[in-house]
Amino acid sequence: MGKFADFFGHNSPEEVTRAGYNPSDDVSSEVEKLHQSLAEMGVQKDEPVMESVNPPPENMESLKKREQMQVVAKNVIDSFGFDPNSETMMVITDTGVIEAQPELIAAIQADLETRTSQPKAKGNFRIRVLSETTRSAQDMGDYVLGEMESLRGSPILIITSMSRSHSKETGAAIRGLADREILDTALKTAKGHGHLMALEDQLTDEQYEKLRQFARKNACRLISITKGKNPHDILTKGAVEAPVAEILERDNRINELMKDVEKVHITSAQGTDLWLSLIEETKGYESEDFSKPGSLGNYPIGEWACSLDWKGSNGILVVDGPIGGEHMLDQVKANGPLKLTIREGEIIEINGQSIDQDSGNPLAESVKAYLNGGNNAKNDAYRLAELGVGSNPFACEGKDDKDIGSSEGEKIYATIHIAFGSNGSLGVSKKHPSYNSAKVHCDMILMNDISVECHRKDGSQFFLIKNGKPQGY
């Protein structure tokens, strides 16, 4: 009961309803329970919350958390470049977030109330809470699609406890744009190739691109903040605390440095010795500036990325950081690092053995199972997709190894990540020889003692990262 009281504070039932808690609109049992909790605290239909259920005086810990949430709320709303005088902002969340992190939603609501306090902006935001149930992702996706259609040109923020970004909630939305029978057949076939969990709820590049085009058509901006299997604090601390303007400025500096770079040579003290060929037109394609109409992406921000040409990409990659598929840093430290041999953009060996052999290493076998879950006849799951550079100095700060996964780990300042699998979302044309149509995208983070030497078309060279230290960004 304490968390509900802390969240609702002294709001009236009408204010709570305006924030999205309305059982007449959502008959889910979880939302009903929230209303019942209010009733048990003495709240009647037309009465304010009783004084006895006001939150107790704040101690230093709760005050610090409130201030932290205010920073996070400001950052994510700033990312949209939200103009309360000319547009309406939509926030869609679920009861899992409300129960685990009520302070976050309260801070976002308070920030939006302040921004929309002037007469011209009055009421230009809405908060919608869906129930965390077995079909909640479908409900959320349906709602997102509807909002994109009705709120043309507006920002839509998704905060969910249920899935990773671009999977369940956006996957459900895209089904309104695709032939359901064809989609379900393709996903059923893909799932049969491995045990990748919730594959039917994940997006292929083609579907994601349709969603991107739909967002652009309606000039919407969509950001997804998702917990997935990460701890709830991925929503409230670490990378989400970084000032937006500083991250965008750093990303822009990297983009300027990487112009005309056609190859990079990556080395590390752990044994990485890898040459990569870059695809020029993909540099910075996934912009983290969500003020642009039609932008679509995940949060927290803090990376520059491009896709890779398989031709000329060869060498050894030693992965000492977290890996996609929920392989957290503690697992990598316990069973890694993984040593990948890459030939013309394709993994041909892991830890000295071919990929079709059982290595006996639980980390290697789990990563292979994740890749196999989204593989195809061309073995695209094992082919290069992305080079990313972390640019967020707050990412994973103060977090335990068991809580550091690829979603936030790839944003750590002065790290890089190499991804295998799908690359269409990075702007690679289907006609390009290195277009990757795998139904999985697996990021692998390199964390320690990295050097990235960049080679321009004119023959000049420079270091982007040298012995783990960023150079010029």
The CATH number of whichever domain residue 213 belongs to comes to 3.40.50
Same domain, 200 and 71: yes
**How many domains does the chain fold into?**
2
Domain presence at residue 23: no
pTM of model > 0.85: no
Domain presence at residue 264: yes
Q: What is the pLDDT of residue 221?
A: 86
Same domain, 158 and 257: no
pLDDT band of 206, cuts 50, 70, 90? low
pLDDT band of 114, cuts 50, 70, 90? very high
Q: Is the pLDDT of residue 100 over 70?
A: yes
* Residue 304 DSSP one-character state: E
β-strand partners of 266: 274, 452
Domain presence at residue 10: no
* Low-confidence winner among 151-155, 184-188, 383-387 (lowest mean pLDDT): 184-188
pLDDT band of 220, cuts 50, 70, 90? confident
Same domain, 333 and 420: yes
Q: Is the pLDDT of residue 184 over 60?
A: no
pLDDT band of 332, cuts 50, 70, 90? very high
Three-state secondary structure string covering 83-149: CCCCCCEEEEEEHHHHHHCHHHHHHHHHHHHHHCCCHHHCCCEEEEEECCCCCHHHHHHHHHHHHHH
pLDDT band of 61, cuts 50, 70, 90? confident
Q: What would the mean pLDDT of 386-391 be, rounded to a whole number?
A: 97
Same domain, 73 and 208: yes
Q: What would the mean pLDDT of 424-441 be, rounded to a whole number?
A: 91
Q: Dump pLDDT digits (tens) for 269-279.
A: 999 999 999 99
Same domain, 140 and 275: no
Which residue, of 201, 228, 255, is where some domain finishes?
A: 228
* Low-confidence winner among 88-102, 270-284, 389-403 (lowest mean pLDDT): 88-102
Domain presence at residue 32: no
User: Which is higher by pLDDT, 280 or 3?
Assistant: 280
Angle between helices 60-80 and 102-115 (to 10 degrees): 50
Same domain, 267 and 210: no
First to last CA, the chain: 47
Domain presence at residue 372: yes
Q: What is the pLDDT of residue 205?
A: 56
Helices marked H in 293-422: 329-335, 362-372, 406-409
- In whole numbers, what is the pLDDT of the chain averaged over residues? 80
Tokens of 454: 């960049």
Give the range of the structural domain holding residue 380, as residue numbers without chain letter. 243-470
Domain presence at residue 87: yes
Domain presence at residue 33: no
Same domain, 355 and 436: yes
Domain presence at residue 129: yes
Same domain, 296 and 428: yes
Query: Which contiguous run of DSSP H or E holds residue 309?
Result: strand 303-319
Same domain, 224 and 265: no
User: Which is higher by pLDDT, 472 or 296?
Assistant: 472
Q: What would the mean pLDDT of 364-370 be, rounded to a whole number?
A: 94
Same domain, 323 and 281: yes
pLDDT band of 15, cuts 50, 70, 90? very low
Same domain, 410 and 288: yes
Angle between helices 244-257 and 60-80 (to 10 degrees): 50
Q: What's the angle, vertex CA 309, arms to CA 368 and CA 191, rounded to 5?
A: 30
Which residue, of 228, 258, 293, is where some domain finishes?
A: 228
Same domain, 161 and 279: no
Q: Is the pLDDT of residue 197 over 50?
A: no
Which residue, of 171, 205, 228, is where some domain finishes?
A: 228
